[in-house]
Amino acid sequence: MISALPVSGIIFLDKPLGWSSRQAVNEVMRLFSEPGKKRIKAGHGGTLDPLATGMLPILLGEATRYAELGLGADKSYRVTFDLSCQSDTLDREGEVTARFDQSITEEQLLEIMPLFSGPIDQTPPIYSAIRIDGKRAHELARKGDVVEMKSRCVTIHQLKLLSFEFPLVTLEVHCSKGTYIRSLARDIGARLDMGGCVTELRRLSTGGWPESMMVTEQELHEKKEQCLLPLAAWLRNLSPLQLSVDEARRFLQGQRIQLMSTSENEDERDVAVFEGDTLLGTGTLKAGMKHMVVHPARILPSAQDKYR
């Protein structure tokens, strides 16, 4: 009797409002785990606050080995924030710490927005999942400890004004990894001598994956298998490389594979390695003396089992 293949792949969950990222991962993990058996491994490709909705890539089984492709990817958001107030958490879930009576025009907002495009220095919120001396910043902040956050350089690729109905501003943001949208709203408001309290936040995309890829909690419960994308799809930005059966076996043993192509005009690059339709893992293609050589990086246990 042939045993079923272990669950592996990606779910692009449209995370519901109020769920933490961990709660979302646990729910998907529960749905795909067999009752009475050890739960499958699961993780996500980029934290979303409970206030936020939208694209949360959830990786199952062997796919968790490639979570960094989501964590390190550019992301797009739609955010609405209130210029008339600010809170300790920089969003509507926190305690209001300041109110602002003045008003501004749309022209004034548009005038300062270019200052927040391109590479910028940004200080993350103290209520965030960043670790300080091994502890989450938000845990320290809630205990009343003084939390000092270091600024970091992030990139705002595109900043588009969608609507302005004072005091509410709605923007679409395309940004690099590590960007905190709550910090962006805070800093835009501060530049105007006002607040910047986030009232709505939705992630539209991770790594260029379109909104249409997202599935709701209800869809996931109704047709979970159809919602699961293969790991190979998640690796779409890596060049595919085909090996023979013999080469596949050697690759899966951790051996470097010399290809028959010459190394002239070939760039070093990361590759997704296949034998036919079977994903073996990933590697790095480097130039050898006369030929290109594949150096194994990550090998999938399911492929090792298949080619024993």
Residues annotated as catalytic are 49
| Inter-residue contact 178 to 152 (CB < 8 Å) | yes
Strands in 269-275's sheet, in edge-to-edge order, are 239-242, 269-275, 278-287, 291-299, 257-262
Phi–psi pair at 273, nearest 5 degrees: -100, 130
Query: What whole-number distance in Å separates Cα of residue 193 and Cα of residue 200?
Result: 21
Torsion of CA 90, 150, 207, 45, to 10 degrees: -80
